[in-house]
Amino acid sequence: MKHKPAVTEILGRRKELERGATVWFTGLSGSGKSTIAERLVNVLREREIKVELLDGDVVRTNLSKGLGFSKEDRDTNIRRIGFVSKLLTRNGVVSVVAAISPYREVREEVRRDIGDFIEVYVHCPLEELVRRDVKGLYAKAIRGEIPNFTGVSDPYEEPLNPEVTVHTDRETVDESLGKVLAAIERRGYAPSAKVPALP
């Protein structure tokens, strides 16, 4: 059975857009990575895109249980997330990662390994992070009570050329999400909301 021209065009367009990719959210604890990442996953699922979320905290509890917070252990954790993300990407899934991933070198290593990669830098000033932190972890780290705390007693190396930078201290979640979606659509990893659904 032959499809009508319009349907054939839509099928071809959707097949072209069904490409795997990794969208990697990096930023300090409390900056809003997981919030935006979860919203992104929901939007992509509504558009019938194959998508999975890899949250840094969840991965640490399961795949990276037993690792500490030395630079070596942090890098190992990021490489493990990167490996899983590469497998998903290779199989046509949009892999959404939300992880502090503080060190630039290992982030770039993962980028090179995956290929189809969008880095999203979730920027938020330290003062705002302290204000948001209801658990008081930043305050404790500043007082020296928590060692190896990224952004206070451990370094965070900002991305040099991220595909997207969002500023969660002055953007709404929807505004930040819109910037990420635009980058994904421009690169052909997901159809825009204007692409018609199949009948």
Please check whether residue 15 is in contact with residue 84, taking contact to mean a CB–CB distance below 8 angstroms: no
pLDDT of residue 193: 66
Q: Residue 2: its pLDDT value, please?
A: 53
Please give the positions annotated as active site. 101
CA 113 centroid distance within chain: 16
pLDDT at 66: 78
**Nearest of 38, 83, 36, 76 to residue 60 by alpha carbon:** 76
131-154 per-position pLDDT tens digit: 999 889 999 999 999 999 999 999
**Between 19 and 35, where is the model more confident?**
35
189 with 17: CB under 8 angstroms? yes
pLDDT band with cut points at 50, 70 and 90 for residue 22:
very high
The larger pLDDT score, comparing residue 90 to residue 2, is at 90
**What digits encode the pLDDT tens for the residues 144-187?**
999 999 999 999 999 999 999 999 999 999 999 999 999 999 99
Asked if pLDDT for residue 120 goes beyond 90, the answer is yes
The arithmetic mean of pLDDT across residues 19-37, rounded, is 96
pLDDT tens for each residue of 46-95: 999 999 999 998 988 887 777 888 899 999 999 999 999 999 999 999 99
pLDDT digits (tens, 9 = 90+) for 66-80: 788 889 999 999 999
Q: Virtual CA dihedral for 100, 57, 147, 65, nearest 10 degrees?
A: -120
Q: In this predicted structure, what is the pLDDT of residue 10?
A: 45
List the one residue out of 31, 42, 191, 47 whose CA is nearest residue 99.
31
pLDDT of residue 64: 75
β-partners of residue 54 are 97
